[in-house]
Chain A
């Protein structure tokens, strides 16, 4: 069935694994006891999460006034955080859906965790449009629910309403997609479980999976269908989020370039976040054999590519603002780059445009430490991108009489950091309770891309012992056309 990888390709699964090894490697963290490191991290994340929840309760209890907003800057950290988290949530679906459609096998090692990250990130994102409302207790009014208020209906012209639909659709599809993928793996854990409680729980979660050929057939079909559904969502969600800004009249927001620019930025930040999480996870859960340097390198290449796209978008914006000859537009961008928030712009530019360019060097893009640093730098930069777009456009718009500065309060900070805490709490719990690799999917590529010389039953024995390692440039070229190499029959 499976075609063996090209000779020059590095194996995606190292360590001469057998199928059982894979099951063992993935299931052990779920079955065994957590180490003290995990508890410490969970403790820390919980404290931060509780601090964030406290700040959210304070906001809801007292009013939005506890944030640093003012009459001119009506959105700042709230929507910055929202867009940031939505952006982060992009990588998961891109990896699981788009890369599935393109038959990228390396996705299998990362898609589970990337999707988990997506789910949690979208949850964090969805929090912000909720708590940023002055009257969160009326938040259900943004849903087109039949009501007794007469002909009262939502405003379909409003991009915020589109957001509601986009985010909720994206979240549901991602969740379903993720869960479908988890079913065979839950079944594996169920089958291995000894304790009756966990057996019970995992058997419920596994939905009665028996591993029959028909189940596998349906599994594959559903995955493909969902991938087909999810792929447009990858592009639609952030496009729609960008329309919150693009459809407005505010100089600096009113920009047609936003949808593609936001999608590129979202993939950029999402992959960076995946890198951050994966690098920690492979170390902690000893998954070095599955999350190989090659995986990291692939992701870095995507980061570099999308980072460059974002860079082009930034420069295009600057050019167009000048070329348009529109006073307000021109001033908005000039003010962004040289005004009182120049430092935010500088952080954005250096983190998002300059830092990914280092990935041109193979040595750097295959360096774990460097990747880890860049992955964090990119997310810092992407946070500032949203901050720059939102705050610098608002704080000086049309009438200079209303120009103000925005100064965050401890509550702004607390809620932001708090969502990171909540995110990590969820992620840490996930990493203990769920199979963090799509183990059954990984098994399907073991024969084809496992390490050479393995004595797996049925594995090909006639592969060559040595592989020539090609220069970095050629490697990149190969990658871009890699989908041609893989043929399914």
Chain B
């Protein structure tokens, strides 16, 4: 090997003496006074070296350079003094109240930086039960509706002058009202039910003012979803025109004739909560629920025994029932399965006298008297049905409304003020209300926009949104609640009470008015102050009264039978109230339009429901299983057909929807649709062959059927004669449904058993007591040893027993399928609204969906497991729902699997597992391969197909019209804690991780562990029946911990081995047949 040559830099290096060694280690041969320069080295002994110097130098230069750049101009102005209650990033909650003539709830409004963004129930309320339904939690969006009137308006020569000043409109209106008064004319106030004592006081003041000037002033209350029949029946039966308080929690047997008491009927929120309490199979007793109805309702779908009957059969069934429980009427003739079910109901009712409830949804006075008679026979009054402590939320009188309409026709009404009700929309045409309106001289609408009533009025004096208003309520006798503004007026609106006061010459603000009323009338003798009431949101006075009712039902029976009896028609129709839109007051709310109907899973439309066999007959097909499977399928490219309804001369063209459970020979159409203004959302793709090219006002979402109600003294939502249905040949209509498949295919998805089985297995003393109804899934390993799926695993275990493990427990027995969780989840998490056309393509973004399955029958046997399915044709038949199926619901959100199939497949690790059991989605990291969604066994992941919050995608204009996130004002409803997802990323349920984080921080500040109930997800916080529970699965004090271990508990698709953190509780039907 060659020797390397060496060269020296100098003689010193060659010699390499100690001096040289020392100096060569130094960087500079001479002393550089860096330390002196940077600091006083002598004092500090600093060892600042050249590198530090360069760092400091570099930093200073960079900083100086950056400082020289122009700072961006921000328009936000910081508070000079921070308001006491507003801390950025911290939410405030205010107690308030929602009441729109249909739903009542005492609520909590969450505001962030002064913007109301979320509504939950007030748990202190005795009347509403602490939950909210989807109509109530969606109502927050109405506040940010840019289509609300922005100020008072006046019609001049048929054209609207908008955004006038209040003073000018006030003076015009009062001038008009005075001139009416001076001519001794009539001023009529038309409102929905008013349960606010102060508002009534304001109305009285208005009445008194103009009565003093010579006018006759009358006030008519009318509800779109009327309970007039029931009120009148109670008036006649007991001399008390009121809705009783129903105690569903004390009823062991419930028999309902078409009353959708879990969803839309009366105080449904409270009933749902009471009902669910008694659905616990481990409780003292579990109620038994019979439902007899025409159209499948949410309540009916939850029933233990459900019978389908035609509207004309209600009276017959009731007389049959009444006679069997001892009433003195001749029993109606019933036969077949209906008779069997009624007989069973009779048996159960008689066994539970005083512990049962019979209700009917009909607005027919006769029907309600028969129901009263049955309840009386069963001694339910004073126990489950309490008329002493009445409910105030329905007071409207159809008779008064009819009389008003007649007066208008006769020219006796000179001025009409409409408040809180869109009368021109919701009035039955039988009353001739809309025609007669033209005869009224002065029409003033106090609605929130130029709606159907507004457009025919002379003045619009826009009412404020309820979240901008003060008010008080007395929903039930002695039970009060208040509402308070949580934001100042967005537009130049004024709440109607204040408007009336102004017109009465009273200049006090309505706030002072309410406060004064309370200090004079309500709070007398109470220890609570007005601010206490505002804080609590609710207030109760006095004790319950228990006086005996004097009944004269027996004398009414024969007339009631006569009044309620209708001749059966060939085709009968029921106009039912849908869960989403209710009475149509929120007919322009995109959240509610996109909420799938609990039963049909259809969004955005009303349609003609008819039984599958009737649908096949209408379409001209033979009624075979194959035809049911093929011809009745509705999907993305399988539109439905259109039919024409002729009802007493009026023609209505609507799509048909084959609805299992619909009574044969009947059809149903939902009310609440066809609102003016919805045509702005729609386009040709939405309406198929029903699109009207010429007149866009016909292109509303759905059609209004209120005008078709029949007048029998009250407005009835059923017609038994004069209904004809014909197929509109060749016309097709796209229906957007979120679920295109009806049945469970015999799989263990919703686990269901009967109460008898459950109780028998529970008591059998075996260690595996649950095997009879909730079998543990076992898989044989390579050696043939049977193991639980979680014990056969490829992946390393997460340390799931350490720290928190967040989880949900969903009790399928209390879930009524109402959909409140669906909307609340969308609101909390800024889930995009995508429009009908996208839903039709199965691209709805809901993070939480409620699966609904119908039972199906193969070889005359109801399928409950896959072992019953043999040949291929069995599978085909299993796809077909029964004509009268039993129904199950299952809320499905991300299951937060401990071994999540989505996590392993993401190439960029955008979805990962947290050490608290959450499956996390990192939107920023997501590149959108959709592999995770494909590999999700539960199909809960949602992909952003478009930039849904974009203001303008020319090819897809829906989003900007519908999606709050795509609207400048609508954006204010967005939750600032949750990012709005951009296009191309995957999203899914996060188990409200923002709430978990907040709750953890709160607990940390308080120095304690996270307590049960201190963190609620959006879905669990609103659930009226408390079916969804959230908590820490590792904490024994949390309800989910115990529930996840109980016998009814199972995880969805256990055999896939994903080990979810969401547990379901087996559904138990109290039906042993």
List chain A positions with a Cβ less than 8 A from chain B.
Answer: 62-66, 68-72, 74-75, 129, 132-136, 138-139, 141-142, 152-155, 157-161, 164, 244, 247-250, 327, 331, 334-335, 338, 394, 396-405, 407
Contact = CB atoms under 8 A, between A and B. Distances in A.
Contacts, number: 183
Interface residues of B, number: 67
B625 to A, nearest CB: 15
B557 interface: no
B200 interface: no
Interface stretch (B538-546, B560-568, B821-829, B836-844): B836-844
Given A141-B927, A399-B1052, A404-B740, 16 more contacts: A64-B943, A65-B946, A69-B943, A134-B929, A141-B908, A142-B908, A155-B904, A155-B908, A155-B909, A244-B931, A247-B905, A249-B1057, A249-B1058, A250-B935, A327-B747, A405-B638
B749 interface: yes
Main secondary structure of the interface of A (DSSP, over half): loop
B927 A249 contact: no
A154 B946 contact: no
Interface of B: 635-638, 739-745, 747, 749, 838, 841-844, 849, 851-853, 866, 872, 875, 890, 892, 901, 904-909, 925-931, 933-935, 937-939, 941-947, 953, 955-956, 982-986, 1052-1053, 1056-1058
A155 B938 contact: no
B938 A398 contact: yes
A70 B636 contact: yes
B375 to A, nearest CB: 39
A74 B637 contact: no
Contact of B927 (A68, A138, A405): A138
Q: A-B pairs with the 7 shortest C-beta distances?
A: A134-B928, A134-B984, A65-B945, A74-B930, A401-B851, A70-B842, A402-B939
B937 A398 contact: yes
Given A331-B745, A338-B872, A132 B904 contact: no
Given A65-B956, A133-B984, A398 B1053 contact: yes
A154 B637 contact: no
Given A71-B942, A160-B905, A403-B741, A62 B927 contact: no
Contacts of A64: 928, 930, 943, 945, 984
A142 B927 contact: yes
Contacts of B935: 248-250
A372 to B, nearest CB: 35
Q: Give the residue among A164, A334, A403 with the most B Cβ atoms within 10 A.
A: A403
Contacts of A70: 636, 841-843
Nearest to B841: A70
Contacts of A397: 937, 939
A249 B937 contact: yes
A75 B943 contact: no
B846 to A, nearest CB: 9
Contacts of B943: 64, 69, 71, 74, 134
A262 B938 CA distance: 27
Q: Give the residue among A158, A164, A397, A405 with the most B Cβ atoms within 10 A.
A: A158
Given A70-B842, A159-B905, A399 B930 contact: no
A74 B943 CA distance: 9
Contacts of B953: 62
A2 B906 CA distance: 54
B984 A400 contact: no
B934 A75 contact: yes
Contact of A399 (B636, B749, B984): B749
B906 A158 contact: yes
Given A142-B908, A249-B901, A404 B842 contact: yes
17 contacts: A63-B984, A65-B946, A71-B842, A72-B939, A74-B934, A74-B943, A75-B930, A141-B927, A158-B907, A249-B1057, A331-B745, A335-B875, A394-B934, A400-B747, A401-B741, A401-B853, A404-B636
B234 to A, nearest CB: 42
Contact of A400 (B741, B928, B942): B741
Nearest to A327: B866
Contacts of A71: 842-844, 933, 939, 941-943
Contacts of A407: 636-637
A75 B905 CA distance: 14
Given A132-B929, A401-B851, A249 B984 contact: no
Contacts of A135: 926-928, 982-985
Contacts of B1058: 249
A84 to B, nearest CB: 18
A403 B843 CA distance: 12
Contacts of A401: 739, 741, 849, 851-853, 890, 892
B928 A69 contact: no
A334 B872 contact: yes
Contacts of B749: 399-400
A249 B1056 contact: yes
Contacts of B982: 135
Given A161-B907, A250-B935, A65 B930 contact: no
A399 B742 CA distance: 11
A71 B938 CA distance: 11
B812 to A, nearest CB: 14
Q: Give the residue among A138, A153, A402, A403 with the most B Cβ atoms within 10 A.
A: A402
A338 B872 CA distance: 8
A158 B907 CA distance: 5
Contacts of B875: 331, 334-335
A157 B852 contact: no
A161 B906 CA distance: 8
Contacts of A160: 905-907, 929, 931
A250 B939 CA distance: 11
B858 to A, nearest CB: 14
Q: Give the residue among B849, B927, B955 with the most A Cβ atoms within 10 A.
A: B927
A139 B926 CA distance: 10
Contacts of B1053: 398-399
B740 to A, nearest CB: 6
